[in-house]
Structure 1
Amino acid sequence: MSMFVFLAALVLAAIAVHVAAQREGFLSIDCGLDAKFRGRKDTYTDIDYVSDSPYVDGGENHKVAAEFDTSATPEDRRTLRSFPSGLRNCYTLPTESGAKYLVRMVFFYGDYDGKTSPSFEVHLGSNYWDTFDGSSYWWSEAVFIAWASWVPVCLVNTGSGTPFVNTVELRPLEATLYPQVTADESISAFARKNLGTNDTLIRFPDDPYDRFWEWDPNSSWTNLSTKEPILQDGSFPVPIPVLETAVAPVNNGTVLNVNTWKTYKRSFEFTFFLHFSDIQNTQLRLFDLYVNDEQLMDKYSPSYLAAGYVYSSTWSKTTDGKYNITLAASPTSVLPPMINAYEVYNNIPHDTPRTSTKDFNTMMAIKLEYGVKKNWMGDPCFPAKYRWNGVKCSDLTENITRIISLDLSNSNLTGLVSDNFTFLTDLQFLGLSGNSLNGPIPYSLCKRNAGSLVVRYESGEDMCNKTISPPPSRNRTAIVSISVVVPMVAVSVLVLSYLIWRVKRKPKICTHDPPKESELQSAPGSTRSHGDHLQNTENRRFTYMELQKFTNKFERFIGQGGFGLVYYGRLEDNSEVAVKMRSESSSHGLDEFLAEVHSLTKVHHRNLVSLVGYCWEKDHLALVYEYMSRGNLCDHLRGKHGDETLDWATRVRVVLEAAQGLDYPHKGCSLPIIHRDVKTSNILLGQNLRAKIADFGLCKTYLSETQTHISTNAAGSAGYFDPEYYHTGRLTESSDVYSFGVVLLEIATGEPLILPGHGHIVQRMKQKMATGNITSVADARLGGAYEVTSMWKLVDTAIACTADAAVGRPTMAAVVAQLKESIALEEARVDSAVRVSPVSDTVALVSTFSPSAR
């Protein structure tokens, strides 16, 4: 969930999450919707749509022709954005690097310009995805693993008319879905058909991932249906309404044919998923599977009232784009073959070079910080004819390029010289002259490049290769990187390695039916043996079937984390729990699963979320926690409960309790435990808004005193990441302290971490605090209802926590002490019912902390 900080930076208004309907992580963009409108709620799906203005730089807003602008036309087709200028125009979608997503673009021409419907290409990043062929209505989906903190989807003018789009939708997916998708290859939907139904389209809320399931009527098929309960497959969910219908050959025939084709695809390599749930249990049903007359599987028998699927782990090829799926009854079968649904996908090979992930994220950070427009869309370097203005790139290394020159001269830049330039580690030239920038060149920028960087500033001199003295760290205004936070290449390699392992392990055709019995085995995702790691824990070990029972077949979705989806459950004793599901292909490995189990097993504190138990079975890993009924702090500040403003006393008490929970693992264990992912969404709230720290999946336990300060695996979330850890790889308790300081600034200001054109919250607050006016810092929604000294104490603590150098930060114990003083001051104000003193709220900024040895 780390890149939803990025989402907060981009959208004008937070996307609401509807009770029991809206899925967390959905981004639904109504292209052409006027930016002055907050958004709209779709009447069919109850999904909230927002204007596309924050996500795209160019284009024009239009409405479809009057004859189509009626109630008969779905809302998402009535407006559109066209792109008469530029060869390539891109939407920038916030993502979490290493996570899997579905992206969909919907096109309805609607005669908006009175011309002929155009033809143009659609690209995913720098790679070809699909072609719009001039149809009156068309949609295209792609499934991909995000390679950066944002992913561009682009419309490319091929000379056959003006590109346009009506909606762009981004949906997070479980890692188990569509295993063919890797870091080097995505897939494009060729067909997704729901068989045996009269419903023309099934989507959200029936499908929690909002996939489009279109009907496919055929007179040579017999429709079958049931209303009996069907057991869902947790690792590859298919909508229950899709599983409730099926088709078989008419007149009990022995052969069932399914075929379709499209001819405009560049590549005709395809893969497929066939979905089954037998709804007749009277006699034996066996059949063989063929694709284009090639037998892929024999004697398949679908499970009764239980979902299963068959998929190809390799790509099939055809010269004309046509395919034919055949199900032929085996000689011993009594019932004819049947099928509920099928999906067919083309591959999207990542054959075009791209900019390195770190440089990619850095350039987006710079673009957002300064509000750069130009042609800064898509990949900065590729394809070469769309390269960003002012950017020069290195030669390729394994199909990856680095940015070596960035000329932003005369670009109307304002503000300070950003530390984000520091993260372009191969940069040889930086041109900043002709702008309205102020302040010095960051010392770390020149120091990092060790004399190899030429920086042209207002004087025209090379500012890096002249004598520069580093300013004192306490007085220097820090500008924290807003996007380049984690070298996620390591995560991508782990994901790719696992997928390669899976391909080698599985046969060409793979089935996934409900396991006949629970099997404990060494789950993939780690090269180490963990066979007895959990045997001695005191927590309960659940079976997957028990989790299905306790969650009512995972009926109530309540959140999403790094391991996967979280569901509400109720145990036999009626106690409420939260079940975090993680399947074998999750982008988080078994080691992280065990890290959370081990940490929560041996560390007990009233302000740490309690682990009730776990599940470790074939294809299923899960953690079961106590249920925190009031959600998380982030939701109360800016999300689900954004209209319910927390008063100042409640905010301080919540962060005090969170600080106590974080302090205990630092000092309460023989070897400290570092959380590494402290953020407002990991501070959970129970009854009476009592706070507990959650999500220890990235935690790090010191192995020995000699390894106390070294970590080779960067981790964390965008905007909360300790910049010193990023530079040095040194992991200490102060990494958590930095992240917690960012949390303190959030609760004081109520602002998102990143504001386009204004930078990171640490940078913004340091600038505001320089004025000495606390009103400019405090959340306006508080209405001035706070004790001024209490506010100053908390904000000053936050600034101390976010000091550039770890040595200048307080311990969590010191933070707890300061927050206790802050809450005491505020409670005294409330208890005495005395208004805030009329004395000026301008006070001296005197930190109670001073640098000390760690």
Structure 2
Amino acid sequence: MESSYKLLLVALVTFATVRFVQAQDEGFISLDCGLSPTEQSPYTESATGLQYSSDSSYIQTGKIARIQRDLEGPHLKPQTTVRYFPDGIRNCYNITVKQGTKYMIRVRAIYGNYDGLNTYPRFDLYIGPNFWITLDTKEYVRKEIVHIPRSNMLDLCLVKTDTFTPFISAIEMRPLPNNSYITTSGSLKLFSRYYFSNSEDVLRYSEDVYDRMWNSYNQTDWKEISTSLTVNTSDSFRLPQNAIKTAATSANASEPLIDIEFPESANDKVYIYLHFSEVHALKANETREFDISLNGESIKDSYKPLYLQSETLSNPSPVICTGQKCIVKLTRSGKSTHPPLLNAIEGFAVADFLQSETDENDGTNLSSNGLAGTIDAGIQNLTHLEKLDLSNNSLTGVIPEFLANMKSLMIINLSKNHLNDSIPQALRDREKEGLKLSVDGHAIACLPGSCVSKKKFPVLIVALVASVVVVVIVMVLVFIFVFRKKKTSDHVEAIPRSVVTPGANFTSTNTSETSIETKKRRFSYAEVMQMTNNLERALGEGGFGVVYHGYLNGSQQVAVKVLSESSSQGYKHFKAEVELLLRVHHINLVNLVGYCDERDHLALIYEYMPSGDLKEHLSGKRGGSVLNWSTRLRIAADAALGLEYLHIGCQPSMVHRDVKSTNILLGEQFSAKIADFGLSRSFQLGDESHVSTVVAGTPGYLDPEYYRTGRLAEMSDVYSFGIVLLEIITNQRVIDQSREKPHITEWTAFMLNRGDIARIMDPKLHGDYNSRSVWRAVELAMLCTNPSSEKRPTMSQVVIELKECLSSENSMKGKNQDTESHGSFEMSMSFDTKAVPSAR
């Protein structure tokens, strides 16, 4: 029997390991450029076990070749074939990606004298319309960038800059966690990645689950130390074991450890990522503590690496390295008994991509914009453009032939300009394929919505049609009125459309409101008065009305929200809140106990949250002790879990639309729940990822993109949550005109530029927090409040990051501190964020 159990255990472990390895390469794109589709494709690359396929389905241009046989020795597949581009200036790969996902994009170019010319090409690489880097192929070329695509299609373009022919050997794309390699702006171009060891091994997949490539490095004045034990690498960076199990220290224990990185340009804005883990078990009277600086600017003081625990530090904002020297200095503190150590390092330069990557459905309307001169060739960079309207300008010169090469372009309007009448044959050929071209003296094909019909219908026909339409509308309205009246009478438990507030005699005129059916308990107004002791104790007041304290069955505490006569929300928002709460249930959402609808009286009965709202505690109005940092993190994580459930756990998904600190209610042990769903909206199944609504919400918390466009999406809640997180961190007012920077996001960014976290943190905490968890929380909040919704994390990603922040904070505080905070969050963490529970 025991041997059977052992066999079962081995099988389970093996299965789990296989599934784990398979999960890591999910989403990997591995292209062997120049591999003929008739050859073995896909194939398994021997060194990594990853599958590579031909690039032929990702690009329609170029020719294929193979490097010289005598040069293949050092190079394994996929580095022995190339695709080269003798024709055209710009040739692009079109790669389907997942919008908003962070990718490591790596290209490799091995010339290998494939053309027999023995001349090393030099050319540019672009991502969409944005310049990435110039490739000089005198040596083996490998370039990487960490980039978040803004659409579901990414264009990787090779651009000829001289007489050389661009070519490429391999393209590799690897998804990364969105909470890794966080920056305040731009994509990241890799210029160095080293682990410190005497080994000569290059670490790659499957040792590195993200398939980063690590080279070893050491110096004669450094000493290598290591461990044979496994290091915990469960953070978002997931370093390979062989990279984090070794470290460099200074051979002279009294000297600082210095590493110098060289970016490619003197103007590069640089991020340095430092990876640490203590690999020696220090005795009770021993310590390893040191200060970390980059070009003289402090990154971290009195830092102590965690034993067998991987941790990453970086400069919070980009720096320009004078003389292209980024000097990382680790200086031993006075009380340290051991010299500093460093396990691994990565250096990146910021790539500020100023032009938006064109969405597949985008059109460009430049009509009547006073444009003059010739049509700019830069337009062809917009490779997914479908509609181009340049009409009614003063453009001159020829109609460019490159427009015919823009395969997605289906409508072109060049009318009312001063262009040469000659139309390139390539464009005439495209017309046969369905292109609609409008040029003066040529076929007129207007852009949708840009032309006004010139036809005039007889007045009699117009009048007749109008009369028929009016009759039909009247008949439809009568039918709807009769049908709804009958339907309403069929539902005894329905909330009637004639709603009167307590003590008032006004009737709702909104006769189009749909009735609400519910299985929740329906209370009479007499029961409401009894449970609240005749509305004796008011808890607060909002736009809907007054909230009163009450007891259900004489024992269960409840909160009763009663519609007031002066309510600015009324029946519509009451109905929205009831309908939402009838079908959702989550430990971090306030539970609806029942409702009252007795014609003249309307009320909602909720579970009671004894500790009030988050805003009261932060402001001190609630009294009592100050919320400590770990409790604040737990409250934030609880609230994030509630929002995550609304976004992915509900079908259809919900947007709260009024996330703020007063709508986060707290239980006895400061467990947090989201409340007030009167403004919430749902996305029906099959809808787009957003809906257009009348803008509503609370000033300061309102997503600027939603305010500007009226397009509501889950990311609007993410922005509001980011504001709440900044409140939790800083205890600053969301809008304070007395500050130099009135809005809390502007103020925080302003203070961050000074690099001192103490200036940002709530002074009531008196420095009682771990700065590492604080920095992570601040970075997360700033990501959530990015003006562009495309750059914000999802609530699932927010939950993961907050859990890691809390774990980091509690591990530093020790198990004996803040024990009162563990219970609630452990319950929250038990909610499986990967599962999508059914809505009730």
State the TM-score, normalizing by the size of structure 2: 0.47
Identify which of structures 1 and 2 has the higher relative contact order when contacts are C-alpha pairs closer than 8 Å and 6+ apart: 1
Computing the radius of gyration over CA atoms, which structure comes out larger, 1 or 2? 2
State the TM-score, normalizing by the size of structure 1: 0.46
